[in-house]
Structure 1
């Protein structure tokens, strides 16, 4: 299996932390030396291991933000 290269360009937000210390994060990541994309996934404490995640272009992130702002968050 080919090695995946990545560089976390910017750590934007930690969304949650599990009991094992893994964190779900929103970061700007360059995968295999490509243009950086916004990325949501679980990371080990040292950022050496990662879980499955989702990458978003800037336009997709803006669209997601606009849609999230419209959600009625009455969760009571």
Structure 2
């Protein structure tokens, strides 16, 4: 299995932290040398292990923001 390469270019924020020290973060990440995208997923404290997540373009993130702003939360 090939190694996934990533570079966290910018950490936008931490949404939560689990009891085991993993954090759910929104970051701007370049995956395998490609253009950076917005990424929401769980990370261990050293950013070596990660959980499943969602990767969004800037346009998708803006659309999500707009949907959340319209939702009655």
User: Using the alignment, how far apart are the partners of 1:20 and 1:64 within structure 2?
Assistant: 29
Structure 1 counterpart of 2:26: 26
What do residues 24-56 of structure 1 show as CA deviations (whole Å, max 9, x unaligned)?
A: 000000000000000000000000110010100
Structure 2 counterpart of 1:43: 43
Task: Report runs of 4+ in structure 1 exceeding 6 Å deviation.
Answer: none
User: Using the alignment, how far apart are the partners of 2:20 and 2:72 within structure 1?
Assistant: 32
TM-score with structure 2 length normalisation?
Answer: 0.99
Unaligned runs of at least 5 residues, structure 2: none
Query: Greater CA radius of gyration, 1 or 2?
Result: 1
Alignment root-mean-square deviation, CA = 0.3
The number of aligned residues is 73
Name the SS of the counterpart of 2:4 in structure 1: coil
Unaligned runs of at least 5 residues, structure 1: none
Structure 2 counterpart of 1:58: 58
